[in-house]
């Protein structure tokens, strides 16, 4: 399968605001059908902006978005076959739940076959009269007609009871209204009705034949090749009602159809927003932090509800959140973003076990990965911090050298030709390390004089100014070069669950373990989160709560080399992964 066959493709998508600020850099992603993509990252990382570009609410400054090989960049929102759920739900406050859900159906036109309503109605009623016992039929009809309600209500009821279309129901209603109000009409009346149907049908068929329209067996207009012609029309009230009831049932909202949004709880409002989205029957769902406004418990239930819904309607979902737990539990693939750059794309398992840089390692996982600094003792082939030392193997040394040689080459390339692309490369590295360009000045109140002065100053200094990124990359290059011959500082990481803790028992020997006392023991229920100091950092590990542990107990801490990660603090890239 070629790459272009992905359902949705984002190619080099970028967003630049009118004031020059760039929010999204070079976003590339292929999305297959039925995936549940979660874009996750801290606030301000550009995830919402990306989602809005996909939706069409923001203009795309550069790059393309394709859906089934069709360019979406200039398509207006409503033509993109997408539905969106906002963080604030954005329910229309003056409409009740029914009307909120029905809104997309009421203002849009949908394609439908052109049906000859008279002929199809006649056919339906004929079939009904043939299949149903006359007396049962008339008793039911009499019941409906007797109740109070408008003509439309009664026609809709007839349609629901006898499973007719609204046209068939209208015809049947017409017959009932015109016949004598008799509870037990005789079979003759049936004959009268059938006769009337026959007359109507013949007249209509003649008219159709005269006008040259061709109809198929379902009374839809067809063109010369036998394909049904379609028209774009508004849905009838009955059709809308049926769909809304269906959707409300799916989301358990049938008790709230008359309520206004201000009378609903957060979870209910959220479901209404979902309902408004799924009733559109579109293949793509976009969600912008929909659970952020809910309380913790509700968030848990809604998380699974959303995924269940996604599976039930076979949607393709793109979900934005800042909560890594949501990302891990809901996604089929995760996109981690920071400061406008993609940090990593992968399945939850990949992103958790094989983070590509320090940012992803820190962001994903709760509690977060333990990180501490160690020095690489090349001669001794080990990592040292104080009296703790972790022996490394030759493979690691080789990888270490390879890594830094590669990085040095990268930076040399950047500095050689410091163009806009190079600048962005440096910004990308800084998005992972967390460094910022300058201390941002506090935004002053807009003062025309200050603005003019700034503009004049810029013009003076413009050409001579060396961009800060260049300075940063130069200093980084220096540091990288040093790594090759000195003992560099590295960041070592290990996930809490991979640290082995044993309570020290008198008399047992613990070789290769680090003996210490915990600083805090937090009981979570089934297990403890045990904190202790290690390499001058607070490290967390798990301990089964089957046995008690307190801060007075001595613990023996150990972990194996395979369970650790090693990161380079200069670029924050991963040097060594698991294993």
Partner 1 sequence: MLTRLTDKPKKTLSKSERTIRKEKTVSFVVLFIVTILWMLPLIYMVGTSFKSDYDLQTNPSGLFPSAGQWTLAHYKSFLSADSDAKIFYWLGNSLWSTLLHVGLTVLLDLLTAYVLVFLNFKGKEKFVKLLYLWMAVPGVIGTAPMFAIFAAIRNGLEISSDAGSYAYIFFWIVMPGVSGIFNMLLMRNFFLSIPRDIVDSARSDGASNFKIFTKIIVPLARSTIMLIVLFTFTGSWNSLNWPQLIFSGEAQKWWTVTIGLTKFTDSQAAAAATGVAMATSVFAMLPIIIVFLFTQSKMIDGLASTGIKA
Partner 2 sequence: MNNLELMQREMRKSKRRKNAVGYALLAPYVLIFLFFSVIPCLMGFVFSFMQYNPIDSSKNMFVGFYNYAHLFDFTNSVSLKFWKSFATMFLFDIVMVPTLIIIPLTLAYLINLHPPGYKFYRAVIYLPSVISVSVMGIVFSKLFAGDELGFFNALFGTNIKWLSGKPFENDILRWVVIFIASVWWQTGTNFVILSGALRNVPKSLYEACEMDGGSRLQGILHVTLPNIKSSVGICLFNTLIGYLGLYGQPYVLHAVENSIDQEIVSPMMFIQYYLKNASFVNMTGYICAAAIVFGLIVMVFGTIERKVMGERKRTDKYSAAYKQSKQDVEWGLSLKGPAQDIQSVGGANNVNSIN
Question: If binding is defined by CB under 8 A, does position 298 make contact with partner 2?
Answer: no
Please provide residue 272's backbone torsions phi and psi, each rounded to the nearest 5 degrees. -65, -40
Q: Is 11 in the site for partner 1 (CB under 8 A)?
A: no
Stretch that binds partner 1, among 42-50, 388-396, 430-438, 460-468 (CB under 8 A): 460-468
Measured between alpha carbons, how far is 43 from 337 in angstroms, rounded to an integer?
Answer: 10
Residue list 238-277, contact with partner 2 (CB under 8 A) = 239, 241, 245, 248, 254-258, 260, 276
Strand, coil or helix: what is 183?
coil
Under 8 Å between Cβ of 501 and 556? yes
User: Distance between CA atoms of 469 and 424, rounded to whole angstroms?
Assistant: 9
Min dist CB 8 to partner 1, Å, is 20
Q: Is 140 in the site for partner 2 (CB under 8 A)?
A: yes
The region of 51-59, 204-212, 328-336, 464-472 touching partner 2 under the rule CB under 8 A is 51-59
Q: How far is the CB of 502 from partner 1 (least distance, A)?
A: 48
Nearest distance in Å: CB 89, partner 2: 8
Shortest Cβ 431–partner 1 spacing (Å):
17
Positive or negative torsion for Cα 280, 281, 286, 291: positive
**Shortest spacing between CB 320 and partner 1, in angstroms:** 21
Q: Is 20 in the site for partner 1 (CB under 8 A)?
A: yes
- Which of the listed partners (partner 2, partner 1, none) does 204 bind, with a CB threshold of 5 to 8 Å by partner kind? none
Return the range that interacts with partner 1 (CB under 8 A); candidates 17-25, 118-126, 351-359, 433-441: 17-25
Distance CA 493, CA 315 (A): 37
Nearer to partner 2, 126 or 500 (CB): 126
How much helix, strand and coil, in percent to the nearest 5, is found in the chain?
45, 25, 35
Residue 182's Cβ-count burial label (10 Å; 0-12, 13-18, 19+) is: exposed
Residue 17 makes contact with partner 2 by CB under 8 A? no
DSSP-based three-state secondary structure for 1? coil
Residue pair 496/541 in contact by the 8 Å Cβ criterion: yes
HSE (side-chain half, CA atoms, 13 Å) at 88: 3
Binding of partner 1 at residue 60 (CB under 8 A)?
yes
Tell me which of 130, 462, 525, 579 binds partner 1, using CB under 8 A.
Answer: 462
Q: How many residues bind partner 1 (CB under 8 A)?
A: 18
Integer CA distances (angstroms), 270 to 96, 274, 282, in order: 14, 6, 18
Determine, following the binding rule CB under 8 A, whether residue 502 of this chain makes contact with partner 2.
no
Interface pick for partner 2 out of 3, 107, 506, 524 (rule CB under 8 A) = 107
Closest by CA to 282, choosing from 8, 4, 568, is: 8
Query: Euclidean distance between the first and final Cα of the chain, in Å?
Result: 32
Q: What is the smallest separation between the CB atom of 103 and partner 2, expressed in angstroms?
A: 6
For the segment 162-181, give every residue that binds partner 2 (CB under 8 A): 162-168
Minimum distance from residue 545 beta carbon to partner 2 (Å)? 45
Question: Does 67 interact with partner 1 (rule: CB under 8 A)?
Answer: no
- Contact region with partner 2 (CB under 8 A), list: 99-107, 476-484, 547-555, 557-565: 99-107
Dihedral sign for Cα atoms in the order 427, 432, 433, 437: positive
Listed in sequence order, the residues at least 6 apart from 544 whose beta carbon sits closer than 8 Å to its beta carbon are: 526, 527, 528
Strand 36-40 versus strand 316-321 pairing type: parallel
d(CA 404, CA 73): 40
Pair 208, 74: CB distance under 8 Å: no
Using CA atoms, how far apart are residues 57 and 50, in angstroms rounded to an integer?
A: 10
Helices and strands, number each (H, E), in the chain: 17, 26
- Quick one: what does residue 420 bind among partner 1, partner 2, none, with the CB cut-off 5 to 8 Å set by partner type? partner 1
Among the candidate windows 59-67, 201-209, 448-456, 510-518, which touches partner 1 by CB under 8 A? 59-67
Using CB under 8 A as the binding rule, whether residue 467 contacts partner 1 is answered as yes
Say whether residue 98 binds partner 2 (CB under 8 A): yes
456 contacts partner 1 (rule: CB under 8 A): no
Distance CA 399, CA 575 (A): 7
If DSSP codes are grouped into helix, strand and coil, which group holds residue 96?
Answer: coil
Q: Rule CB under 8 A: say whether 463 interacts with partner 1.
A: yes
- Whole-number Å distance between alpha carbons of 562 and 378: 19
| Main-chain phi, psi angles of 466, to 5 degrees | -90, 125
Is 418 near partner 1 (CB under 8 A)? yes
Phi, psi at residue 534, to the nearest 5°?
A: -150, 125
Among residues 223, 419, 439, 446, the one that binds partner 1 under rule CB under 8 A: 419
Q: Considering only 74-82, 374-382, 535-543, 564-572, which stretch makes contact with partner 2 by CB under 8 A?
A: 74-82
Answer for which of 9, 96, 316, 473 binds partner 2 (CB under 8 A) is 96
Q: Does 94 bind partner 2 (CB under 8 A)?
A: yes
Q: How far is the CB of 59 from partner 1 (least distance, A)?
A: 4
Residues 215 and 116 sit within 8 Å (Cβ to Cβ): yes
Query: If contact means CB under 5 to 8 A according to the sort of partner, which of partner 2, partner 1, none does residue 579 touch?
Result: none
Residues that bind partner 1 (CB under 8 A): 16, 18, 20, 22, 59-62, 74, 418-420, 462-463, 465-467, 470
Residues that bind partner 2 (CB under 8 A): 55-57, 77-78, 82-84, 86, 88, 90, 92-94, 96-98, 103-104, 107-108, 110-113, 115, 120, 123-124, 127-128, 132, 136-137, 140, 153, 156-157, 160-168, 218-220, 235, 239, 241, 245, 248, 254-258, 260, 276, 280
């Amino acid at each position: 399968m070629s790459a272009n066959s992905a359902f949705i493709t984002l190619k080099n998508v970028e967003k630049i605001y009118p004031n020059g600020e760039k929010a999204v850099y070079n976003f590339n992603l292929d999305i297959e059908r039925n995936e549940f993509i979660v874009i996750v990252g801290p606030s301000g990382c550009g995830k919402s902006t990306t989602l809005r570009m996909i939706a069409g609410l923001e203009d795309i400054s550069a790059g393309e978005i394709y859906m089934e090989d069709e360019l979406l960049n200039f398509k207006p929102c409503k033509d993109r076959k997408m539905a969106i759920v906002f963080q604030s739900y954005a329910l229309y406050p003056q409409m009740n739940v029914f009307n909120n859900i029905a809104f997309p159906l009421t203002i849009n036109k949908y394609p439908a076959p052109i049906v000859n309503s008279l002929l199809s109605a006649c056919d339906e009623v004929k079939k009904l009269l043939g299949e149903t016992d006359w007396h049962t039929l008339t008793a039911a009809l009499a019941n409906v007609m007797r109740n109070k309600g408008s003509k439309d209500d009664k026609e809709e009821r007839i349609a629901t009871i006898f499973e007719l279309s609204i046209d068939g129901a209208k015809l049947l209603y017409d017959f009932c209204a015109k016949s004598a109000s008799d509870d037990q009409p005789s079979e003759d009346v049936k004959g009268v009705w059938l006769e009337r149907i026959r007359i109507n049908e013949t007249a209509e068929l003649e008219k159709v034949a005269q006008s040259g329209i061709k109809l198929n067996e379902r009374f839809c207009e067809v063109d010369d090749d036998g394909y049904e012609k379609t028209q774009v029309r508004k849905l009838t009230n009955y059709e809308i009602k049926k769909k809304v009831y269906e959707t409300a049932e799916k989301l358990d909202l049938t008790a709230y159809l008359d309520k206004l949004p201000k009378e609903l709880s957060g979870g209910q409002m959220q479901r209404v927003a979902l309902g408004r989205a799924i009733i559109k029957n579109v293949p793509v769902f976009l969600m912008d932090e929909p659970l952020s406004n809910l309380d913790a418990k509700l968030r848990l239930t809604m998380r699974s509800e959303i995924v269940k819904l996604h599976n039930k309607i076979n949607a393709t979902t793109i979900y934005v959140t800042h909560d890594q737990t949501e990302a891990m539990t809901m996604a089929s693939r995760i996109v981690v973003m920071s400061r406008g750059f993609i940090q990593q794309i992968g399945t939850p398992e990949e992103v958790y076990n094989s983070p590509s840089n320090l940012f992803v390692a820190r962001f994903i996982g709760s509690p977060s990965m333990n990180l501490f600094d160690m020095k690489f003792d090349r001669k001794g082939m080990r990592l040292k911090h104080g009296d703790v030392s972790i022996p490394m193997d030759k493979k690691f040394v080789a990888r270490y050298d390879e890594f830094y040689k590669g990085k040095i080459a990268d930076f040399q390339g950047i500095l050689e030709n410091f163009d806009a692309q190079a600048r962005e490369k440096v910004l990308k590295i800084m998005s992972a390390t967390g460094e910022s360009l300058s201390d941002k000045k506090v935004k002053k109140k807009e003062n025309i004089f200050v603005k003019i002065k700034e503009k004049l100053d810029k013009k003076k200094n413009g050409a001579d100014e060396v961009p800060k990124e260049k300075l940063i990359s130069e200093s980084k290059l220096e540091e990288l070069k040093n790594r090759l011959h000195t003992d560099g500082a590295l960041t070592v990481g290990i996930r809490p669950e991979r640290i082995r803790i044993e309570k020290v028992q008198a008399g047992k020997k613990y070789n290769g373990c680090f003996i210490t006392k915990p600083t805090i023991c937090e009981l979570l229920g089934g297990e403890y989160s045990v904190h202790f100091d290690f390499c001058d950092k607070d490290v967390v590990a798990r301990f089964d709560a089957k046995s008690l542990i307190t801060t007075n107990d001595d613990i023996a801490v150990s972990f194996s080399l395979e369970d650790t990660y090693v990161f380079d603090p200069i670029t924050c890239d991963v040097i060594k992964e698991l294993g």
